[in-house]
Chain A
Amino acid sequence: MIVNIARKELKGLFSSPMGWVILALLQFVFATFFVMGVDQYFLTMSGMMRPDQRMGVTEFVGASVFGVAPFIMLFAVPLLSMRLISEERRQQTLTFLFSAPLSLTEIVLGKFFGLLAFLSASVFLIALMVLSLNLWADIDFGYLFANLLGLLLLVASYCALGTYVSSTTQQPVVAAIITFVALLALQLIEYFLSGDPSNTLANLSLMRHLEPFSRGLLDTRDIAYFLLFIITFLTLTVRRLDADRLRG
């Protein structure tokens, strides 16, 4: 059943120009950074004489693409997640889902995974681009995998927050703005607290938990953080929808 709702969501995303435009723009930006990365690799490396200054092509190009991805996704996700529930609320189509033999958890998970599957297309294309380097060089698969997993978890967290915000309002635009501001705050929180690195609040920062992934490090603490983040907001969404049924 979760799959069926996810399929419905995907169909909705792919049948609107919005989805295609965003996918195309994402691909354009990532490809540009990829090409720039490859281009600069030779320039930079030819200037590096000492062995300790040298770095692998995967790391160099990866840093370029994966460095910009969280920032770009920050714009893309709210635009896609805003309509997820608010639009259904506005068009009164939520009744369609509520009257079908589905639990609220299934509805929310279906919507979440639908959106995530859509954005995974973009992550998948990034993976293909970096993998194409393997035709000429030996790439570092472990590093690539850690980065991809990190990006996917980050995007999933964005989606979970977006889903929740979308469930609280009837206006998609309001949902988009609130999601964007909330995500931006979670990104910037670390900069604000940079003077005091031991501050507990800084641990909330999404970027702090993404950083080990970008070094190729898989830390269960960071994975747990992302998973908890996702579960929290999805649970809140379920509760928000349940309130609809109870309070009307």
Chain B
Amino acid sequence: MTTITVEASELTRKYGGRTAVNDVSFSLNKGEVLGFLGPNGAGKSTTMKMLTGNLAPSHGSVEICGINMMEKPKDAKALIGYLPEQPPLYRELTVDEFLTIAARLHRVSRQHIRKAVDIAKQRCGLTEMGKRLIENLSKGYQQRVGIAQAIIHNPMVVILDEPTVGLDPIQIRDIRALIKELGGEHSVILSTHILPEVEMVCDRVQIIHKGTMVFNGDIDVLKQQRHGSRLLLGLKQAPAQEVLLSIPGVEAIEVLKDNLFRIRHTPGAVPTEALIQAAVSQNWGLFQINPDQTSLEEVFVQLTFQDAAVA
């Protein structure tokens, strides 16, 4: 059985006359990781602020596990762990002190506070850092403290605003693994503009552009768009295009620079073998053949561009 943990309907936020977020609706099931994508200033952070009750929407509503954020903010907030863009840390405190305060403020019962702090530290790789002042930690470790703070009370929904910014590659890998792990028992909403990250950790993707949702669907849909039915072919002594077109399966040819060709083929019938055989027997000087993947960036640009064209 799937249970809906986050339900946002018709969220709209206006700053003065400018609409930062316009009519965004979505819902999230338990155990899902939702990726929130968008260029800078698209309204990702604003949407997250509204989801966590830090900002009142001009219109629309947010429900966390069926509890309305407007009507019962305290109960709704108790179910959320939130890491804002800039991790909210009291620099003059040690990691242990800060996490204890976080646990206390998030209604963790007195007997469980120490255990909760230990678990959160362990999960975020902070076990050695307990006695250090947050001020003296590196940016990456501060980010981890921020995440630890968000998961300390074992919330139903974890909302992370650009959690991997400023981390080194190894830390990024750790954090991604942690997010994956969180996705098992919690719902996670994650905003980022790093596309491979979305592909790696998210089950679902939403692309937001200029405050409006332009894509909302499974990550697989996006992946399919990526792995289109195209081949990249490199030939030193290329034959006439008609020759290539005569090979069964080949539908269209686009000539690129450096003796490269992009071949569109009929979906399902990949003409790789036929092409190689022809190339060898007729001595075309084959030096490269591989499936042509549109980068996720391109898909992203396409989606956001479509929107601009409509508007």
A interface residues with partner B (beta carbon < 8 Å) = 1, 4-5, 7-8, 11-12, 15-16, 91-103, 245-246, 248
Contacts and interface: CB of A to CB of B under 8 A. Distances in A.
B89 interface: yes
A97 to B, nearest CB: 7
B53 A12 contact: no
B88 A92 contact: yes
B95 to A, nearest CB: 13
A114 B104 CA distance: 16
B92 A15 contact: yes
A88 B73 CA distance: 21
Interface stretch (B79-87, B197-205, B278-286, B287-295): B79-87
B186 interface: no
B214 to A, nearest CB: 23
Nearest to B85: A92
B221 to A, nearest CB: 32
A11 B101 contact: yes
Nearest to A8: B101
B105 A102 contact: yes
Nearest to A100: B105
B82 A95 contact: yes
Contacts of B13: 248
A101 B93 contact: no
A93 B90 contact: yes
B101 A91 contact: no
B75 to A, nearest CB: 7
Contacts of A99: 52-54, 77, 80, 82, 84
Chain A to chain B: the 8 pairs with minimum beta-carbon distance, closest first:
A96-B88, A101-B78, A93-B88, A100-B105, A99-B82, A101-B77, A101-B74, A92-B86
Contacts of A245: 53-56
A239 to B, nearest CB: 14
A87 B55 CA distance: 20
A91 B102 CA distance: 16
Interface centre among A11, A12, A94, A96 (most CB of B within 10 A): A96
B88 A15 contact: no
Interface centre among B15, B88, B102 (most CB of A within 10 A): B88
Nearest to B78: A101
Given A101-B107, A245-B55, A248-B55, A93 B93 contact: no
Contacts of B86: 92
Given A12-B92, A101-B107, A96 B149 contact: yes
Contact of B74 (A8, A103, A246): A103
Given A101-B75, A103-B74, A95 B92 contact: no
A99 B151 CA distance: 13
B101 A16 contact: no
Nearest to A247: B15
Nearest to A94: B88
Given A12-B90, A95-B88, A103-B74, A248 B49 contact: yes
Nearest to B75: A101
22 contacts: A5-B105, A7-B101, A8-B90, A8-B101, A15-B93, A92-B86, A92-B88, A93-B90, A95-B54, A95-B88, A98-B52, A99-B77, A99-B80, A99-B84, A101-B73, A101-B78, A101-B107, A102-B105, A103-B73, A245-B53, A248-B15, A248-B46
Given A101-B74, A248-B15, A4 B105 contact: yes
B115 interface: no
Contact of A16 (B56, B84, B92): B92
Interface string B142-185: 00000001000000000000000000000000000000000000
B97 interface: yes
A92 B106 CA distance: 18
A8 B102 CA distance: 10
A125 B80 CA distance: 43
